[in-house]
Structure 1
Amino acid sequence: MSDTTVLPFTVDIPDADLDDLRRRLSTARWPDPETCEDWSQGIPLAYTQELAQYWAQDYDWRRCEAELNRWPQFRTRLGGIDIHFLHCRSPHPDALPLIISHGWPGSVLEFRHIIAALVDPVAHGGDAADAFHVVIPSLPGYGFSGKPAATGTSVEVIGRLWGELMARLGYERYVAQGGDWGSMITQSIGQTETRHCAGIHITMPIVSPDPDTMNNLTANEQSALDGMTYYAQWDSGYSKQQSTRPQTLGYGLADSPVGQMAWIIEKFWAWTDCERSGVKHPENVISRDELLDNVMLYWLNNTGASSARLYWESFNNPSMDPITMPTGCSIFPKEIFRSSRRWAEQRFHNLIHWNELSSGGHFAALEQPEVLVNELRTCFRSLR
């Protein structure tokens, strides 16, 4: 592939890879069960065994593969890395180009329920004036993208690569959106791609709590601080490992599908708004097949280590520089890190949209797709 070629891409996993997965699942060596009654020590043994059995016996990868292949997919080389992306053009000629970035442990499949409504709003109860041409890349080291062979692929580098991608696709003016690492990449786009990116939307604004507000915190601000404390004490072990020793972790994730599955799905339990009738469970909001579809993009492409390396590159030194680009923020109540508007205004100097939602978590596009679509339409309406 040349440095500027854009080639169509089709997912076609060999049967041998699926046979190998089933063999590994059937011979898994299991740990002792947890000694508590909940998920506080991690994903419970009984549920993990149930999920692994379903994965081996009932799960249908070819269904997911067919869904992926219904979207126009491509690969192109950016910064020496082959980048996989979806490129869904709207039937409406005045559609606004939009690049959407996922994070860890997500994938392009996070956006499976919002693509059609963004691309063709008329077919989904909306207005043609809100149409988008949608570009969704797999991050370097994730999904069907290539893996960096050297250090240096930080969120700032990825943000510039996405600007190059949009230019290569012929988009001189566009907007950007992201969650998790995608939020940080999108915020980087807001700093470096100012000639062509007209605005950004994020679900996890990276800001510092304003010290001047500590004596008169709102209830939401106190809840956000409590959430940060909980994350630091009980929910950040994965990030410490991935940001310091991703290679060591990678051996287990590359060799054990159960290990890869458990490593990912625990976070869907922790970070989604999934409590119903007093029971917190990821399948309350995301189907079993959808959970495993996402895991498959990590397992089939052996990206346990390569995806974790983004933490090594970027987790411990996030940019907190001011952003003057038009910015919209949608704050979901079960997001990992939440901000108040007055905290956000200390960094984002041109807030064009701010909304605090009543339900939803870290994986907004999967948990609350209709809400997120409406947030994007509303946010970017003034930039068309």
Structure 2
Amino acid sequence: WADDFGNERWAYGVERGWLEETARYWADEYDWRAEEAAINRLPQYRLEIDGVPVHFVHVKGKGPAPMPLVLTHGWPWTFWDWKDVIGPLADPAAHGGDPADAFDVIVPSLPGFGFSTPLRTTGIGARRVAELWVTLMGALGYDRFAAAGGDWGAIVTAELGHAHADHLTGVYLTLPQIPGINLRDVKEEDFAPDEAWMWQRSVEARPTIMSHSSVHIHDPQTLAYALCDSPVGTAAWLWERRRNWSDCDGDVAGLFGRDFLCTTASIYWLTKTIGTSLRLYNEHFSRGWPVAHDRKPEIPVPTGFGISPKELLMLPRAWAEERTDLRRWTIFPRGGHFAPSEQPQQVIDEFRAFFRELR
């Protein structure tokens, strides 16, 4: 264990005492087989698309006309971050909802993440992932579908709405992302007076975004050697982000549960994908995110945004109105960077309300 002192508030990164105890729980008490059984209760498949392995969950909806909906996760997420919303979205009646709101729910694992492995192909950025998702949905019989996502999932979803609008019913983003826009260019004066808190949050979150993104973009393979050599190192890298980026008031295990944290680390560790997951940053950002066309707005399909108060990146509503076919703009009362696993009911209600108008 690395020496650690004066770090009770995690000022230098993960506090050693907490990490030792959580790692001990992972090694001695956590029941992977029980979690594995829960995962396996979902219908899952693997498909190779142009040499890229894609793992996905596919739950058919129970209702008069289920809408196909692809949900895309981010980093350090896995597909399992969507676990609490899949059932209610696919079978609303079984969870106190209206069967008319049913979805066919498709949850892929990003290439090089978890069970979408082994990744042997370079050039897999968000634009390529969006192309893969269109092919995947077509293979499942869906020419038109809805899409939603957070973190990388929001970038992929925005790309779907931008470059593949003819296939999209609508898109919903829990992280504001629009092709061709660098949110680091947003200035304080771009926000309306009632959005001042968004600017303050952006400034507050900027150091963690810069430190995190820089190494992932520029040195993913070098970092991969260290993380792939140590399960505790992998877990620390994942769990620190969970704590700092969520609305957990410093109690990350209290918000997500220790088993969930351990399952996330287990999926990355057991599949040996922490290294390939990092490459997405380099593949996407080293090439920039140029627009695929010059039509306006950039995202011409119906678009919804759900803004959590502890999210890392913020977008002025005026920018969303100018650059998307904005249909819904919701400020959530709680939540951070991991919307579906932090506040699943909030996300369920929001998706139902937004996509109901597009059926």
Structure 2 length-normalised TM? 0.93
Change (3 A) 1:145 1:211: closer
Report Cα offsets for 1:142-171 as digits up to 9, x if no partner.
010124323211100000110110000001
Secondary structure of 1:195's aligned partner: helix
Amino acid at match of 1:180: D
The residue that corresponds to 1:164 in the other structure is 135
Work out which of the residue numbers 220, 235, 238 in structure 2 matches 1:261. 235
| Amino acid across the alignment from 2:216 | Q
SS in 2 for 1:346: helix
Q: Deviations over 1:164-211 (max 9, x none)?
A: 100000012210000000000000100122222111001011255699
Partners of 2:224 and 2:186 in 1: how far apart?
42
Alignment of structure 1 residues 67-146 onto 2, 5 Å: 67-146=38-117
State which of 251, 255, 259 in structure 2 corresponds to 1:281: 251
1:312 corresponds to: 282
Q: 1:307 to 1:379 in 2, by over 3 A?
A: same
Contact 2:188-2:199 at 8 Å conserved across structures: no
* Residue 272, structure 1, aligned to residue 242, structure 2: no
Stretch deviating more after TM superposition (99-108 or 141-150)? 141-150
Match for residue 17 of structure 2 among 23, 32, 46: 46
Question: Residue 198 of structure 2 corresponds to which residue in structure 1?
Answer: 224
Partner of 2:349: 374
Deviates more, 1:83-92 or 1:96-105: 83-92
CA contact (8 A) 2:117 2:273 kept: no
Distance (whole Å) between structure 2 residues aligned to residue 339 and residue 225 of structure 1: 9
Query: Size of the alignment, in residue pairs?
Result: 350
CA distance in 2, matches of 1:215, 1:294: 39
CA distance in 2, matches of 1:265, 1:212: 29
Choose from 293, 296, 299 the match for 2:269. Answer: 299
- CA–CA distance in structure 1, aligned partners of residues 199 and 188 of structure 2: 10
Instruction: Report deviation, 1:230.
Output: 3.1
1:152 equivalent to 2:123? Answer yes
SS in 1 for 2:299: coil
Unaligned runs of at least 5 residues, structure 2: 293-297
Distance 2:230 2:185 in 1: 45
Q: State the alpha-carbon separation in 2 of the partners of residues 176 and 289 from structure 1.
A: 28
Give the corresponding residue for 2:295. none
d(CA) in 1 for partners of 2:42 and 2:225?
Answer: 32
**1:233 equivalent in structure 2:** 207
TM-score (norm 1): 0.87
Q: Sequence identity, in percent?
A: 39
- Partner residue in 2 for 1:173: 144
1:118–1:131: 8 Å Cα contact kept in structure 2? yes
Structure 1's consecutive aligned runs of 4 or more residues displaced over 6 angstroms after TM superposition are 209-213
Contact 1:102–1:178 (Cα < 8 Å) also in 2: yes
The AA in structure 2 aligned to 1:136 is V
Question: Is residue 343 from structure 1 mapped to residue 319 from structure 2 by the alignment?
Answer: yes
1:356 aligns with 2:328: no
Structure 1 residue 52: deviation in Å?
0.8
Partners of 1:119 and 1:294 in 2: CA distance: 23
Contact 1:220 1:340 in 2 (8 A): no
